[in-house]
Structure 1
């Protein structure tokens, strides 16, 4: 089984395990997504999309039959591949993913380029993922979501049942059962509980994906008791913005611009718009005195 084929296993398993009614419910969620977010059913004739589905499932069925035969003949250790849970959702066992390496903790900002950045002194410098790397966990973010990685320091092989993870609308709790919490606090901002997931990677690291409610702001910390990062030092990838539709991208870029302008004490786009209107009005009415006009 190729690495490319398995790269979404963790995410899909986390989603699948939320479907208590098993595979039919899981497949219905996928079909619903295709109906609501794509033209899968309307962009082609019924015979075309039915043929596509049958081809895909027949191919996977053939592979499953071959694997089953190989297991029966002893060519594959069935205990290291997949097993089924009570809801007939495949559950990955003995993941062969590489362990997530530990990174250097984020360091405070001590040097600034000019006086406009003096408020950034003491804040933590964002890591490569625009988040923060702390002693017990690290997190990264996009405007849409936050990913948290929690390395587990245990003397035994950790299973999912050994972990306690609770994601609230504005709270998060992570712990090995019967041990002190690794994370336990109030989130920097609200998240969508139904779209937030967690998974165990390589029996060593808990990976949590939090879906932001407000997709226009950068988080400056994971939980309120953490030291803040400097959001001015965040460097969003242009490719992430290019994934958005035109209207949403324009709105996000405007919000990001206004946020930077406010942090620098400079006029926002709305302020500039008001100034342009005033300048036009002044040109039309030179007899009036605007020397005491101020923007609120």
Structure 2
């Protein structure tokens, strides 16, 4: 028996899954029956209601009210499924279909400029600290401690700082 080959292709981000199903030319949205549930999907042409374009249990739950479908250029049925769990890659859309190797997914690099100021600052600090660690140099926190100690030394020249262990500050 031959392996089941899905009639669709899909791509995804951590937030959503886009499913594309080719249709015969000149297919309009009114010719398609679609049912989306929080963990199910089905679509068929009204002319062949028992020949599903896609049908089954989804890999994981979706937010139905945030998910959409449309017929694009009268040639493709496209679903945009909004994931509930935004921390995982789906190995397949419908659980009965073959799985892909999610370890090979390489997400698009996001730009630091796309991040809010607080998150960007945190990411830049982490990147700086990683470079410092690779070079065997002190992290940003260690540098800050050293600067504070140097200021304190300058303010109190009468104190002996010769026995200060920077690792225990």
How high is the TM-score relative to the length of structure 1? 0.36
Aligned with 2:68 (options 172, 197, 201)? 197
Match of residue 264 from structure 1: none
Q: Deviations over 1:79-120 (max 9, x none)?
A: xxxxxxxxxxxxxxxxxxxxxxxxxxxxxxxxxxxxxxxxxx
Match of residue 224 from structure 1: 95
Match of residue 165 from structure 1: 34
State whether residues 6 and 97 of structure 2, in contact with CA within 8 Å, keep that contact through their aligned partners in structure 1: no
Q: Deviations over 1:47-78 (max 9, x none)?
A: xxxxxxxxxxxxxxxxxxxxxxxxxxxxxxxx
Q: CA deviation at 1:153?
A: 2.9
Match of residue 175 from structure 1: 44
Q: CA deviation at 1:160?
A: 1.2
Distance 1:213 1:241, change over 3 A: farther
Q: CA deviation at 1:182?
A: 1.1
Q: CA deviation at 1:244?
A: 5.1
CA distance in 1, matches of 2:111, 2:38: 25
Uncovered stretches (5+) of structure 2, i.e. residues with no partner: 124-169
Distance 1:142 1:193, change over 3 A: same
Within the alignment, does 1:236 sit opposite 2:107 as a pair?
Answer: yes
Kindly indicate which of the two structures has a greater share of residues assigned to helix.
1
Aligned with 2:77 (options 186, 203, 206)? 206
Within the alignment, does 1:145 sit opposite 2:40 as a pair?
Answer: no
Q: CA deviation at 1:152?
A: 0.9
User: Bigger CA drift: 191-200 or 145-154?
Assistant: 145-154
**What SS class does the counterpart of residue 182 from structure 1 fall into?**
strand
Uncovered stretches (5+) of structure 1, i.e. residues with no partner: 1-133, 251-296
Q: CA deviation at 1:206?
A: 0.7
CA distance in 2, matches of 1:242, 1:191: 29
**What SS class does the counterpart of residue 52 from structure 2 fall into?**
coil
Distance 1:223 1:158, change over 3 A: same
Kindly indicate which of the two structures has a greater share of residues assigned to strand.
2
Q: Deviations over 1:254-280 (max 9, x none)?
A: xxxxxxxxxxxxxxxxxxxxxxxxxxx
State whether residues 41 and 55 of structure 2, in contact with CA within 8 Å, keep that contact through their aligned partners in structure 1: yes
How high is the TM-score relative to the length of structure 2? 0.61
Match of residue 111 from structure 1: none
- Higher CA-based Rg: 2
Q: Deviations over 1:99-153 (max 9, x none)?
A: xxxxxxxxxxxxxxxxxxxxxxxxxxxxxxxxxxx55110000001000101013
